[in-house]
């Protein structure tokens, strides 16, 4: 085993090691809107479920240099967002949206995405995504020497294309969500197997 101590790593190297160690990761394609009404869409792969009651998720937003990303500024302003799940068909648009663009330029326009109104929150949903989670911000916690914000959001409404719903859950075999595997690597949801949990 190779021992690597974080204290000896530059932040960029620690980031790359972390991304490759925790893989694959689900992708939260987060849509928000700014004070001027410009919609924003950005993918985040430090993303997880927190608790089912109330249904709550969390994702991490790193800073770009010493600047807060548009997503975080929008969240602080509106206190709501939508997590749009990324399937294989949405991969290219998600990748384009991951670039750095000015706050007045919408990733919806750049990536050819269709904004569709949410039912409860102000942020738009991404029409091309098969699953939308309308969320309100519960808390934003800043951590780290290289500041990152952990955004915790309560899901107010689920939207799922009917073809993917079976017995009250999402059929991931049909959905084929995309995963992030570090650097520029992604994982398709194509080779899965099942194991029963012990009693």
- Position 113 confidence tier, pLDDT thresholds 50, 70, 90: very high
% of the chain at pLDDT higher than 70: 100
Task: Quote the pLDDT of residue 125.
Answer: 98
Q: Which two tokens stand for residue 18?
A: 């972390």
Task: Quote the pLDDT of residue 92.
Answer: 98
Q: What are the beta bridge partners of residue 137? A: 153
Cα dihedral value 173, 24, 179, 118, nearest 10: 100
Do residues 108 and 82 lie in contact, with contact meaning Cβ atoms separated by under 8 Å? no
Q: Does pLDDT of 64 surpass 90?
A: no
> Which domains occur in the chain, in start order?
25-187 (2.30.110.10)
Task: Quote the pLDDT of residue 108.
Answer: 98
- Position 183 confidence tier, pLDDT thresholds 50, 70, 90: confident
Going from the C-alpha of 16 to that of each of 36, 183, 184, the distances in angstroms are 35, 7, 11
β-strand 55-62 against 125-126: which pairing, if any? Answer: unpaired
Instruction: Match 């294309």 to its residue by tokens.
Output: 161
Q: Which two tokens stand for residue 10?
A: 């530059």
Going from the C-alpha of 125 to that of each of 116, 130, 183, the distances in angstroms are 5, 10, 27
Q: Where are the beta strands (DSSP E) in the chain?
A: 25-26, 28-33, 39-44, 47-52, 55-62, 80-85, 115-116, 125-126, 131-143, 148-160, 165-166, 169-170, 179-182, 185-187
Task: Quote the pLDDT of residue 3.
Answer: 93
Q: Does pLDDT of 65 surpass 80?
A: no
Task: Quote the pLDDT of residue 161.
Answer: 96
Task: Quote the pLDDT of residue 189.
Answer: 85
Do residues 137 and 167 lie in contact, with contact meaning Cβ atoms separated by under 8 Å? no
- Position 118 confidence tier, pLDDT thresholds 50, 70, 90: very high
Q: How far apart are CA 117 and CA 123, in angstroms?
A: 7
Q: What distance separates the 2 farthest-apart alpha carbons in the chain?
A: 54
% of the chain at pLDDT higher than 90: 85
The stretch 1-9 carries a mean pLDDT of 91
What does the pLDDT look like over 19-37, one tens digit per residue?
899 999 999 999 999 999 9
């Amino acid at each position: 085993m190779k021992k690597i101590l974080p204290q000896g790593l530059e932040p960029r190297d620690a980031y790359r090691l972390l991304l490759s160690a925790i893989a694959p990761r689900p992708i939260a394609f987060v849509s928000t809107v700014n004070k001027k009404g410009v919609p924003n869409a950005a993918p985040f792969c430090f993303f997880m479920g927190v608790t089912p009651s109330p249904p709550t998720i969390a994702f991490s937003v790193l800073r770009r240099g010493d600047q807060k990303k548009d997503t975080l500024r929008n969240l602080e302003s509106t206190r709501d967002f939508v997590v749009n799940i990324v399937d294989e068909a949405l991969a290219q648009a998600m990748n384009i949206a991951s670039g750095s663009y000015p706050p007045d330029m919408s990733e919806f326009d750049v990536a050819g995405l269709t904004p569709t109104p949410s039912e409860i929150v102000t942020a738009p949903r991404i029409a091309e995504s098969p699953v939308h989670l309308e969320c309100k911000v519960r808390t934003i916690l800043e951590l780290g020497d290289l500041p990152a914000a952990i955004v915790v959001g309560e899901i107010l409404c689920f939207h799922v294309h009917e073809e993917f719903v079976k017995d009250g859950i999402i059929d991931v075999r049909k959905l084929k969500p995309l995963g992030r595997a570090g650097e520029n690597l992604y994982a398709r949801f194509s080779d899965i197997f099942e194991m029963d949990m012990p009693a």
